[in-house]
Chains A and B, each alone.
Chain A
Amino acid sequence: MTELEVLQYVWYILLGFLLAGYACLDGFDLGVGIIHPFQRGDDERRTAMNAIGPLWDGNEVWLVTFGGALFATFPIAYSTAFQGFYIPFLILLTCLIFRSVSLEFRSKRPSLVWRYTWDMIFFLSSLGATFLYGVAVGNMVHGLRLDAEGHITDRLWNLLHPYCLVVGGLAVATFAMHGSIFLYMRTDASQRERTYGHIWSCIGFFLIFFYMATVFTLYFIPSSTRNFVHFPWAWIIVIGTIFAIANIPRSIFHHRPFQAFLSSCATICGLVALFGIALFPNLVTSSISPEYSLTIHNASSAVKTLRVCLIIAIIGMPFVITYTACIYWVFRGKVQMGHFSY
């Protein structure tokens, strides 16, 4: 293997790491948004928002960094995918803008109409963003009409294939489950009790969608399992993910929310890893002809850029992980409403 190939593999894994980091972290705050309408009364809703208050912004940075890293290391895949998902990404951006603004502005005015409006916007934008991520992942696995010119020719309605809708549903259910477990750790009294009930409903939805998505993937996209022949170790990830999923209801039943949260993080990481294995070595799969697919080899930057970016990541990521951990430590425990809360 040449240095270039090694770097391409390394960056494929690192991008997976960034994506998994994003899904685990922003996943819970999107999830809190999805279950937001089920919080009762102004105080509870405010508490829910303040549970993610100091954290969501840093979580979203993982997406920006993922985008930047994809741009730097696989620019052709970045530009092809972003052009191809033009309208969905416009909607995604709308959701992300409104979400951050609703968090920031909701509690700034006492008016109930003002707050109710922002609550709805917060819910819809969290739901919309999560669903679109799922649809995008579904399309990546399913393959896109990528032609010889390197252009994705799918129209909007092609992207809403039933398979992709199921994956979108899976994303919503996963994040809702993840977010409700997070909220369970951060709240107390009646809100905590009710959140306990929400977790069970979310687990139910998650299992239904997980089952459907698995069956649909195996049925519609046989190519998604081809890598398991080459990489038998990938079965460990499958088994690990199933154990992680099984451990969520178990630890919730024993009232160990932190363990459940770690399990749902592991579940998300497992799903991202399986997505990566199903896709590998493609970045954008062409449903027209495999020759047109963008792979980590024909869509990457040159060796020098990959090397420089790796050095940047090696210098920067330990810092990122350290202060992310510090900040989660500072803001551990139950939500305390103070003078500076949202």
Chain B
Amino acid sequence: MDVVWLARVQFALAVMFHYIFPPLTIGVGLLMVIMEGTYMRTRNPIYEAMAKFWTKVFAVNFAMGVSTGIVMTFQFGMNWGAFSNYVGNIFGAALAAEGIFAFFLESGFLAVLLFGWDRVSPPVHFFATIMTTCGAIFSAVWIIIANSWMQTPAGYQVVEFQGVPRAELTFFWDMIFNPSTVPRLIHTLIGCFIVGAFFVMSISAYYIVRNRFVDFAKRSFTIALLAALVYSFVMMSSGDLMARTVAFYQPEKLATFEGHFKTGEGPTPFLLFGVPDEKEQTVKYALYVPKLLTFLVYRNFTTPVKGRDYVKDPADRPPLWIPFLCYHIMIYSAGLFAGLTLLGAIFLWRGTLFEKKWLMWIFVFAIIFPYMANHSGWICAEVGRQPWVVYHQMKTSHGVSAAVSGGEVLAGIIMFAVIYGLLFFVWIYVLSSKILHGPELPETPPETTTVKGLLGAAAERMRPELSEMADQEDESKESPS
């Protein structure tokens, strides 16, 4: 068996499974800061219950994130020895910084966040919540720096060391702020925030349709919906920035995403739908918007966008189908969740959102779209860079460990597949039992709320229903279902 291929499969498996959890940690973490912050301001016990419940859910995801994350640190050395030698000076520095600046912060304050409710004062606890979320975000910062350097390397020189070329650091800040770091970081973080918001909405919507913890769920849902609305629209400009960065620094990658084969002359149209054909170098059944791609990339209507033929040797072009498909999955999912949140927000404003059971059911399952967008986004970024592991510097096929046999890598794949399959079911099981158990609500529902701003406005709109809900809540307490 081909070691390169196996090692790629193993890496894809490990990283894609791992990436189920960090976006949840980052996204839910940020919402927990908002919830606990609201509690700190209003002293309304329902927000405390909210912060505590989402913290418990957060904890389950965090444990999974940590244990699958350690695997990633090991993977580089185990499967990608030559790559590790080549990039160690740079990639390793980013990983070490991630450990020192992010992981310690995250895991240290996580202890206070999870176990410290009775041991520290509320402000200290709130501080711990903020710090844990900061830790999660810092960790994203450093790993994105490392990944972006592989996409658009900068601040280095290639030096022969003991007969083998390797990249050595020359300008630290150039390496940190290589051309794609900032766009990628914004894009990734917002992607994570959206996952977190949809996760909270999904569980809250489930409570609403099941008529349990309704007041709690409506408030959680409102916070998450408003956050998701903002994120979804910021995401559009961030996506635009990201795509333009790719167009400038990795033209054949964007061309692959868009199914754009020949550079041609004059403005390039934007492909709405079509089936690209590698052999014929054309797109079948294509539906185009004229000049739009040129406008999106160059902000004019004349410059042609570079096609896949920008790379002369066909062997050096990225594979076509996977990036093309994933890119469109990402775009359409993004459109879908932007539309959904907008719809939700309109109904929220009208005060009829929570009566729309069908919409609540959609939100229960809508978590799948941000996940599809996040995962396919990363597939685009990584497969779109092929055949390079470090763009235009090192081929993926040259990065693999020389001392490792195909059988060993295959054993690893089987092992990870079995363990991760098992873990996934345990995770779902524990998560659903947490969700079914629900939050620990305060004894008496609060009479008034003093929330200000958008949240306040939203709370005002549901006030008429609140007393009604409190009655239902009492009934359900008397006769537990």
Chain A residues within 8 Å of B, Cβ to Cβ: 53-55, 57-58, 60-61, 63-65, 67-73, 75-76, 78-84, 86-87, 89-90, 93-94, 96-101, 103-105, 108-109, 149, 151-153, 298, 301-302, 304-305, 308-309, 312-313, 316-317, 319-320, 323-324, 326-327, 330-331, 336, 338-341
Contact across chains for B98 and A324 when beta carbons are under 8 A apart:
no
Query: Are B89 and A340 interface neighbours, CB within 8 A?
Result: no
Contact of A330 with B169 in the complex, beta carbons under 8 Å: no
User: Whole-angstrom distance between the alpha carbons of A331 and B128 in the complex?
Assistant: 14
Report whether A71 and B415 are in contact in the complex, using a CB–CB cutoff of 8 Å: no
The answer to the question of B249 belonging to the interface, with a C-beta cut-off of 8 Å to chain A, is no
CB–CB A82/B77 < 8 A: yes
Q: Is the CB of B84 within 8 A of A65?
A: no
B115 touches A54 (CB 8 A): yes
Q: A83 near B99 (CB under 8 angstroms)?
A: no
Residue of A nearest to B81 (CB): A79
Q: Which of A53, A65, A109, A152 has the most CB of B within 10 A?
A: A65
Give every chain A residue within 8 A of B89 (Cβ-Cβ): 72, 75, 301-302, 304-305
| A317 contacts across to B, CB distance below 8 A | 100
Q: Do the beta carbons of A65 and B103 come within 8 Å of each other?
A: yes
Residues of A with C-beta under 8 A to B70 = 60, 63-64, 93, 96-97
B351 within 8 A of A: no
| B329, chain A: closest CB distance, angstroms | 29
B402 interface residue (CB < 8 Å to A): yes
- Contact of A68 (CB < 8 Å), options: B95, B117, B411: B95
Q: Is the CB of A67 within 8 A of B73?
A: yes
User: In the docked arrangement, what's the CA distance between A176 and B136, Å?
Assistant: 32
Query: Which chain B positions have C-beta within 8 A of A53?
Result: 115
Quick one: closest A residue to B408, CB to CB? A86
A330 touches B116 (CB 8 A): yes
B108-119 interface mask toward A, CB cutoff 8 Å, 1 = contact, 0 = none? 111110111111
Q: Which among A65, A71, A93, A339 is the interface contact of B91 at CB below 8 angstroms?
A: A71
By a CB distance below 8 angstroms, the chain B residues around A61 are 99, 103-104, 107
A301, B92: Cβ atoms closer than 8 Å: yes
**What is the CA–CA distance of A55 and B402 in the complex, to the nearest angstrom?**
38
Count the B residues whose beta carbon is within 8 Å of the partner chain — how many?
75
User: Does chain A have a CB within 8 A of B473?
Assistant: no
Q: A64-B103, A65-B100 are in contact. Are A330 and B84 (CB under 8 A)?
A: no
For the complex, what is the distance from the CA of A79 to the CA of B164, rounded to whole Å? 14
- On chain A, the residues within 8 Å of B191 by CB distance are none
> Shortest Cβ distance from B314 into chain A, in angstroms?
32
- Are the C-beta atoms of A108 and B67 separated by less than 8 Å? no
Complex contact A97–B84 (CB within 8 A): no
Other than the given A109-B430, A330-B111, 7 more pairs (CB < 8 A) read: A54-B115, A67-B95, A72-B93, A75-B84, A90-B78, A302-B89, A330-B120
The interface residues of chain A lying within 8 Å CB-to-CB of B99 are 61, 64-65, 67-69
> How far apart sit A69 and B169, CA to CA, in the bound complex (Å)?
15
Q: How far is the CA of A105 from the CA of B107 in the complex (A)?
A: 18
Closest to B62 in A: A57
Nearest CB of A to B172, in Å: 5
Residue of B nearest to A99 (CB): B67
Residues in A neighbouring B67, C-beta threshold 8 A = 96-97, 99-101
Q: Give Cα distance in the complex from A84 to B59, angstroms.
A: 35
A151 to B81, CA, bound (A): 10
The answer to whether B74 touches A67 (Cβ under 8 A) is: yes
User: Does A104 lie within 8 Å of B111, measured CB to CB?
Assistant: no
Which of A58, A97, A305, A327 meets B169, CB within 8 Å?
Answer: A305
A-B contact pairs, 23 of them (CB 8 A): A53-B115, A61-B103, A65-B104, A67-B99, A68-B73, A71-B92, A79-B82, A80-B403, A82-B81, A83-B404, A86-B78, A89-B74, A101-B67, A101-B423, A108-B433, A153-B403, A305-B93, A309-B97, A312-B101, A327-B112, A331-B115, A340-B52, A340-B117
**Contacts A89-B78, A320-B104: A104 and B59 contacting too (C-beta < 8 A)?**
yes
Contact yes or no, A90 B411, CB < 8 A = yes
Task: Contacts A78-B92, A340-B114 given; indicate if A302 touches B71 (C-beta within 8 A).
Answer: no
Name the A residues within 8 Å of B68 (CB-CB).
Answer: 97
Whether B60 pairs with A104 at a CB distance below 8 angstroms is yes
Q: Which residue of B lies closest to A70 (CB)?
A: B92
Q: How far is the CB of A61 from chain B (nearest CB, A)?
A: 4
Chain A residue contacts of B95, Cβ below 8 A: 67-68, 71-72
Q: Do A104 and B63 touch across chains, with their CB atoms under 8 A apart? A: yes
CA distance A101 to B423 in the complex (A): 8
Check B403 against A78 for contact (C-beta < 8 Å). no
B residues 161-193 near A (Cβ < 8 Å) are 161-162, 166, 168-170, 172
A316 CA to B97 CA in the complex, in Å? 8
Instruction: Name B73's contact: one of A58, A64, A90, A320 (CB within 8 Å).
Output: A64
- Cα distance, A306 to B70, chains bound together (Å): 23
Q: Which residue from chain A places its CB closest to the CB of B402 in the assembled complex?
A: A151
Known: A100-B67, A151-B403. A87 touches B104 (CB 8 A): no
CB pair B96 A65 closer than 8 Å: yes
* Residues in B whose Cβ lies below 8 Å from that of A298: 162
- What's the least CB distance linking A207 to chain B, in Å? 33
Determine the distance from Cα of A153 to Cα of B426 in the docked complex, in whole angstroms: 38
The yes or no answer to B220 lying at the interface (CB within 8 A) is: no
| Interchain CB contact under 8 A, B403 and A84 | yes
Report how far A153 CA is from B404 CA in the complex, Å: 10
CA distance A64 to B80 in the complex (A): 17
CA distance A75 to B95 in the complex (A): 12
Report the minimal beta-carbon distance from A201 to chain B, rounded to whole angstroms.
30
A339 to B59, CA, bound (A): 14
Q: B91, B118, B411, B433: which contacts A87 (Cβ < 8 A)? A: B411
A324 close to B104 (CB less than 8 A): yes
Contact of A71 with B84 in the complex, beta carbons under 8 Å = yes
Question: Which 9 pairs between the two chains have the least Cβ-Cβ distance?
Answer: A75-B88, A82-B77, A72-B92, A65-B99, A71-B92, A54-B111, A316-B100, A151-B403, A79-B81
Task: Check: B129 CB closer than 8 A to any chain A CB.
Answer: no
Check A109–B96 contact: CB distance below 8 A.
no
Q: Distance in Å from the Cβ of A337 to the closest Cβ of chain B?
A: 11
Task: Report Cα–Cα, A327/B52, bound state, in Å.
Answer: 20
Residues of B within 8 A of A319 (CB): 104-105
B90 at the interface (CB under 8 A from A): yes
**Interface residues as binary, B383-416 with A (CB distance below 8 Å gives 1, 0 otherwise):** 0000000000000000001111000100110010
Task: Tell whether, in the assembled complex, residue B423 and residue A58 are in contact, meaning their CB atoms are under 8 Å apart.
Answer: no
Q: Is the CB of A101 within 8 A of B91?
A: no
Q: Which residue of A lies closest to B97 (CB)?
A: A312
B93 touches A76 (CB 8 A): no
Cross-chain contact of B119 among A81, A149, A330 (Cβ < 8 A):
A330
Task: Give the residues in chain B near A54, CB-CB below 8 Å.
Answer: 111-112, 114-116
B413 to A: closest C-beta gap in Å: 10
B96 CB to closest chain A CB (Å) equals 4
Given contacts A86-B78, A104-B63, A313-B100, contact A323 B71 (CB under 8 A): no
Cβ A94 vs Cβ B96 within 8 A? no
**Is the beta-carbon distance between A152 and B403 smaller than 8 angstroms?**
yes
Q: B66, B90, B108: which has the most chain A beta carbons within 10 Å?
A: B108
The answer to whether B77 and A78 have CB atoms under 8 Å apart is yes
* Chain B residue contacts of A327, Cβ below 8 A: 108-109, 111-112
A316 to B98, CA, bound (A): 10
Say how far B30's CB is from chain A's closest CB, in angstroms.
Answer: 20
